[in-house]
């Protein structure tokens, strides 16, 4: 690529001008300053406030606590926010929701991608409309009451699956279309039925797209409070719902140290996952968005 092309002045191909050199040298400093100001200050505030006593945390500032009592505070919110129960509640809702939305979504996507009938085009459009359209939160409550599912984990799971199926179907259908039909046919020649073809040929090939969907949906469901307020309405503990309770009680009493301790406890699982699987997560999130 460095060979000069007809008549192109040589200096264009050569090193960038001096001004760029300055910009390049300044860049790391800008990066560090941005990280410290934009991210460092808020995150530092969380950590130091969570380590303070109630008196010191009354008006949260950036100073170090005179005596670190992070562990005491964490232990206190562990009790008060019923963290083990809320953690179990969150897992109880998140795991089945994600599993079902991926399974049902990929099954439907396979057919929608492979059978190009007019009916299926309509069904596809309906299925992905949920990416854009907001769910009807209030009437969902009414419906769940009529079904006897109000306030139950089953109802919550159904609502999450209904909301996020659109996203899964949209991403997976696009992906299935790029999988060559010949792979399926080879299995079919060997006498595999549709269930067998789907689970042993198609599903393994969908791994990258399912990884992206899993990450995004886990994030949304794990952190959701809005739909949980309506559907669960205090009859099941989840981590974000209990944060809301701890914070409402805490704001009243100015217990900032407890609010921030709870935030640390709640964010920790996701941060650990990010630290362990950063490369997979980052490539996973972005895989489907561009191209």
Subset of residues 150 to 169 that bind another protein, contact rule: CB under 8 A:
158-159, 161-163, 165-166, 169
Rounded to an integer, what distance in angstroms lies between the CA atom of residue 162 and that of residue 149?
A: 15
Residues touching another protein: how many (CB under 8 A)? 112
Measured distance CA(14)–CA(18) in Å, rounded: 12
CB of 68 to another protein, least distance (A): 19
Minimum distance from residue 148 beta carbon to another protein (Å): 13
Whose Cβ is closer to another protein: residue 88's or residue 240's?
Answer: 240
Q: Where are the alpha helices (DSSP H) in the chain?
A: 10-13, 18-34, 41-50, 54-57, 70-80, 83-114, 118-128, 137-147, 153-176, 181-189, 194-197, 203-205, 207-223, 226-231, 239-253, 256-276, 278-287
- The least distance separating another protein from the CB of residue 277, rounded to whole angstroms, comes to 12
CB count in 10 Å sphere of residue 71: 10
Q: Which of 216, 220, 197 is nearest to 107 (CA)?
A: 197
Shortest separation between residue 242's beta carbon and another protein, angstroms: 11
Q: Report 242-281 residues binding another protein (CB under 8 A).
A: 243-244, 247, 256, 259-260, 263, 266-267, 270-271, 274, 278, 281
**Is residue 285 part of the contact set for another protein (CB under 8 A)?**
yes
Token output for 30 = 């800008």
How far is it, in rounded angstroms, from Cα 232 to Cα 156?
Answer: 7
Binder of another protein out of 65, 83, 175, 232 (CB under 8 A): 175
Q: How far apart are CA 201 and CA 17, in angstroms?
A: 54
- Residue 181 interacts with another protein (CB under 8 A): yes or no: yes
**What residues numbered 105-134 form the site for another protein, per CB under 8 A?**
105, 107-108, 110-112, 114-116, 123-124, 126-127, 130-134
How far CA 51 is from CA of 46, 67, 70, 252, in Å, comes to 9, 8, 4, 20
The interface with another protein within residues 6-25 (CB under 8 A) comprises 8-9, 12-13, 16, 20
The C-alpha angle 123, 128, 133, rounded to 5 degrees, equals: 120
Nearer to another protein, 69 or 246 (CB): 246
Residue numbers 208-247 binding another protein by CB under 8 A: 208-209, 212, 219, 222-223, 225-226, 229-230, 239-240, 243-244, 247
46 binds another protein (CB under 8 A): yes
286 binds another protein (CB under 8 A): yes
Pick the piece of the chain touching another protein (CB under 8 A) from 64-72, 74-82, 192-200: 192-200
Q: Which two tokens mark 161?
A: 């699956």
| Closest-CA residue to 169 (of 286, 288, 287, 285) | 288
Among 72, 122, 139, 253, binds another protein (CB under 8 A): 139
């Amino acid at each position: 690529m460095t060979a000069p092309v007809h008549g192109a002045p040589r200096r264009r191909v050569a090193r960038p001008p001096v001004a760029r050199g300055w910009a390049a040298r300044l860049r790391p400093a800008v990066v560090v300053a941005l990280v410290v100001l934009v991210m460092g200050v808020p995150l530092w505030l969380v950590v130091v406030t969570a380590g303070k006593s109630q008196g010191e945390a009354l008006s949260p500032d950036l100073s170090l606590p005179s005596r670190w009592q992070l562990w005491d505070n964490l232990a206190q919110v562990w009790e008060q926010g019923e963290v083990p129960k809320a953690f179990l509640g969150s897992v109880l809702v998140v795991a089945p929701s994600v599993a079902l939305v991926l399974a049902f979504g990929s099954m439907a996507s396979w057919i929608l991608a492979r059978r190009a009938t007019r009916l299926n085009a309509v069904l596809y459009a309906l299925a992905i409309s949920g990416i854009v359209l907001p769910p009807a939160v209030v009437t969902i409550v009414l419906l769940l009451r009529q079904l006897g599912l109000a306030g139950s984990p089953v109802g919550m799971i159904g609502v999450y699956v209904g909301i996020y199926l659109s996203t899964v179907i949209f991403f997976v259908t696009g992906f299935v279309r790029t999988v060559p039909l010949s792979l399926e046919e080879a299995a079919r020649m060997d006498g595999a039925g549709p269930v067998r073809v789907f689970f042993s040929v198609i599903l393994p090939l969908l791994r990258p797209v399912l990884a992206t969907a899993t990450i995004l949906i886990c994030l949304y469901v794990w952190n959701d409070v809005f739909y949980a307020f309506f559907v669960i309405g205090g009859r099941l503990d989840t981590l974000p719902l209990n944060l809301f309770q701890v914070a409402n009680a805490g704001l009243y009493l100015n217990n900032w140290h407890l609010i921030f301790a709870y935030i640390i406890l709640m964010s920790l699982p996701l941060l650990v996952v990010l630290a362990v699987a950063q490369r997979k997560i980052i490539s996973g999130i972005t895989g489907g968005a561009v191209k």
